[in-house]
Amino acid sequence: MSGAVLEIDLAAIGANWCTLRALHSAGPVAGVVKADAYGLGAAQVAPVLHAAGCRHFFVAHLAEAEAIRGLLPQHGPDATLLAVLSGLIPGTEALYAESGIVPVLGSLAEIDHWAAHARRLGRILPALLHVDTGMHRLGLDARELALLAQDPARLDGIGLRYVMTHLVSAELSDDPLNETQRRRFAQACAVLPATPRSLANSSGIFLGDAFASDLARPGAALYGINPTPDRPNPMRPAVRLRARVLQVREIPAGESVGYNAIWRAGRPSRIATACVGYADGWLRSQSGRGHALFDGAPVPLVGRVSMDLTTYDVTDHPAIGPGAWLELIGPDLPADAVAQAAGTNGYEILTSLGRRYARVYTA
């Protein structure tokens, strides 16, 4: 029935976590499963990571944490840390405290709200503390950090699990900002109560021992995105996307294909229309730039990607007919390559994948 099939290799995701854990010998390795595990299904991915040995999970929003909380042990020797990166929205304190989900506090106001709630309950409430070292989105800035250092009693009632920061350009191994952030983070930790540290993201794990810490927080690498874009990908591919050809038609030289006639045939051509479009997260920015694979050979994407359909020039592939499958993402056409054609990154390719695909999970 389906016009496109998204295959997700859960065994590869588990193996990728094990690879990263072996590389980060300084401490545990978390699993970042925000954005529905980068579009691949947090309800399926999180238990696989837990079975592989992962005990720390990060999401972006409280609702994401609630969606998978019941799938992960919250008590006993296998208890997990389930943390929300976006922090403490006012009014959600009771939800966090009752559920055991841990907020990542990124401002003095959030610290004060969480500490006040701890006093109301008369018990210690866990949290992570986010320090901004250069991203300038979330996290305590230099002024707030200095105020907290002068008045550490503001943390009374809060059981800090980790102090963390977020690297800006870890995928660029020679970017001097990496070392600047590492140094700023060390300086920040030095004025805070002694607490385990969390520094490296996916790419940060590959920056060397100086970027190791008590907890690494990989995300994209778990799902096969290359954390070292200047080198071969050390991760196993975890995604395969195929789209079915609906029709193949012959057009004469000079005729256009698709909206706005941005592509015209330079020769008599065969055009295959595949059952995938931007409503499925197949980005419109690939128009005239991307390609698919058929039996390992490239098939150019021509014309505009439309809402439900994408067209390919199959003139040189006479075996392609209605019902044939084109590979859009796979081992020989990774999400990073698709992203390059679309002018974006592999993160957006994965997180854009829509709900109309028939999803097949393999273990």
- The pLDDT of residue 74: 81
- Contact call for residues 338 and 328 (beta carbons, < 8 A): yes
Q: Choose the catalytic residue: 34, 223, 347, 357.
A: 34
- How far apart, in Å, are the Cα atoms of 88 and each of 83, 85, 93, 94? 11, 9, 7, 11
Report pTM: 0.96
Q: What is the spatial distance between Cα 131 and Cα 334, in angstroms, rounded to a whole number?
A: 34
Quick check: 12 and 238 in contact, CB under 8 A?
yes
For residue 245, is pLDDT > 90? yes
Give the residue, 2 or 139, on which the prediction is more confident: 139
| Mean pLDDT rounded to a whole number for the chain | 97
Start-to-end CA span in the chain (Å) = 23
- Predicted confidence (pLDDT) per residue in 28-77, tens digit: 999 999 999 999 999 999 999 999 999 999 999 999 999 999 999 887 77
| E strand segments, the chain | 4-9, 31-32, 56-59, 81-84, 102-105, 125-130, 158-164, 197-198, 239-251, 256-257, 263-264, 269-274, 291-294, 297-302, 310-313, 325-329, 358-362
Tokens of 42: 């947090």
Question: In the predicted model, what is the mean pLDDT of residues 102-118?
Answer: 98
pLDDT of amino acid 34: 98
Where does the pLDDT of residue 203 fall: very low under 50, low under 70, confident under 90, or very high at 90 and above? very high
Measured at the CA of 145, the angle between CA 141 and CA 147, to 5 degrees, comes to 125
Are residues 269 and 256 in contact, defined by beta-carbon separation less than 8 angstroms?
no
Contacts (Cβ under 8 Å, ≥6 apart) of 86: 60, 61, 62, 104, 138
Per residue in 218-239, pLDDT (tens digit) is: 999 999 999 999 999 999 999 9
pLDDT score at 78: 80
347 is catalytic: no
Query: Could you give the CA distance from residue 329 to residue 36 in angstroms, rounded to a whole number?
Result: 19
Strand partners, 256: 264
Q: Of 38, 162, 223, 259, which is the active-site residue?
A: 259
> Residue 111 has what pLDDT?
98
User: Is 130 within 8 Å of 104 (Cβ atoms)?
Assistant: yes
pLDDT at position 310 is 98
Please state the separation of Cα 200 from the chain's center in Å.
14
% of the chain beyond a pLDDT of 90: 98
- Per-residue pLDDT tens over the stretch 269-314: 999 999 999 999 999 999 999 999 999 999 999 999 999 999 999 9
Q: Report pLDDT digits (tens) over 307-356.
A: 999 999 999 999 999 999 999 999 999 999 999 999 999 999 999 999 99
For residue 159, what are the CA distances in angstroms to 88, 111, 194, 300? 15, 11, 12, 55
Q: Where does the pLDDT of residue 100 fall: very low under 50, low under 70, confident under 90, or very high at 90 and above?
A: very high
Amino acid at 249: R
